Amino acid sequence: MAPGRPAAPRRPNVLIVGDFSFPYGTGASSRVFNYARGLQAAGARVKVICVEPSGRADTMNVAARGTYRGVPFEYTYGRTTRPSSAGWRRVLRLAKWPRFAVEVRRCAVAVGGLDAMLVYSRSLPCIALAWLSCRLLGAILLHEDCELPFVWKAETPRLRVRRWLFQRVAFKAFDGCLVISTYLDAYCRRYLRPGAGTLLVPILVDVADVSPGDLGSGERGTDETGGGETGGAPAPPADGGNVLFAGSLDHPEVDDLLVAFAVVAAAFPEARLEVLGAAKRAASLSHLRARVDQLGLSGRVEFPGALPREALFERLSAARLLVLPRPAGAFSQAGLPTKVAEYLASGVPTVVTAVGDLPLYLRDGIDAYLVAPGDPAAFGARLCQALADPQAPAVGRRGRRVAAERFDPARHGGRILAFISALREGKTFVEDA
């Protein structure tokens, strides 16, 4: 280096750590991937560290370390699946924590420091070791909050103790939280220590990943006032096309979807439903197949299983209508499904229950079709309206524009780095208007 020339500033270094699967998996996997891509676009170094295996023998994740589309990752468990030997599982379960500590230190030393660690887990050992690592390395500890904690677990005395420890102890370790909704923003502020902050980061998607091409003009049709209906009721097309849902088959919303599709099936004789996704519980798929038979939908509903992200996006873009019913309740009010961002990015018209923050981003009949929660038959009637609506393609195009303008990872990556910088300097983060 020439005398007197200042050294180039070190790029921010961020680790994303948790018990999710990577690169393929549930909505958590997609959100982590988009966090990483957004932070990289803003100039940061990022690595994803998985402390648990994928959990399924048929996982699509086969490499314990590597790079996925520019995002480096590593499983400190040492492999992506649990071995059949109980003794070997015990060894790996114990070894993952020292491996985690060594890998965090290595990532920090290699580039001259660590700025932040984003933890996507409610495991107290994971949070404790992450907190200790951050304190030793001078980094800040962030927690990712995209749903209410332990919401899908049976209420037991043990669970109540875990929840109390998470809320009253673990939250005090966090310097800040990245929250997906206004509901969770208020929830996290209730338990964070004074001086810690929150940053609302909504659902994330790179539109070009899902459906390459320009955004067009986002033209507006005659449905500006909402509702998606124009003039008289148009005759349903002979071919209803395929209606597609993607998500966990364990969630109760899939039952509501089948009830709603029975309404569509009666009005559109050629329509079919594709239900993409996997189930953690073996009984879930059997139950859903039985419901299909009970509703007289045999031959009209397909369960293709889980797909890699790239194949999933192809299926989304090929559908005629994308759907996501959500039940009423605190879980739906708190969450904001990543799947909705991917639906919108495809440019295919989307029908979704109007819960939580979704109405803050979407307008009924303009960017998407919104339905009140709690009535599967009404959801089915709205599906019929969307299938028959001549303005539906324009609704889909405008939804894609919303995804590009509101949910782009690169836009939010810069916000997250600014949030990290403010926390490191002990300042209150204030965004420009």
pLDDT at 162: 92
Give, in order, the Cα–Cα distances in Å from 218 to each of 10, 197, 399, 405: 40, 36, 9, 11
275-289, 333-347, 379-393: the lowest-pLDDT one: 275-289
pLDDT at 59: 81
207-406 maps to CATH 3.40.640.10 = no
Query: pLDDT tens digits, residue range 344-394?
Result: 999 999 999 999 999 999 999 999 999 999 899 999 999 999 999 999 999
Of the chain, the percentage scoring pLDDT greater than 70 comes to 90
pLDDT at 215: 67
Please report which residue ranges of 23-63 form alpha helices under DSSP H: 27-41
| Two tokens, residue 83 | 């071995």
| Two tokens, residue 259 | 């009830």
pLDDT at 222: 37
Sign of CA dihedral 7, 11, 17, 21: negative
Domains 13-204+409-424 and 207-406 share a fold: yes
pLDDT at 25: 87
| Structure confidence at residue 329 as a pLDDT band (50, 70, 90) | confident
- What's the whole-number mean pLDDT along residues 216-236? 39
13-204+409-424 maps to CATH 3.40.50.2000 = yes
pLDDT at 427: 82
Alpha-carbon distance of 316 to 314, in angstroms, equals 5
| Structure confidence at residue 252 as a pLDDT band (50, 70, 90) | confident
Mean pLDDT of the chain: 89
Alpha-carbon distance of 1 to 198, in angstroms, equals 40
3 vs 126, residue with greater confidence: 126
Contacts of 59 (CB under 8 A, 6+ apart): 21, 24, 25, 53, 80, 81
Segments making up each domain of the chain, as ranges: 13-204+409-424, 207-406
Query: pLDDT tens digits, residue range 42-98?
Result: 999 999 999 999 877 668 899 999 999 999 999 999 999 999 899 999 999 999 999
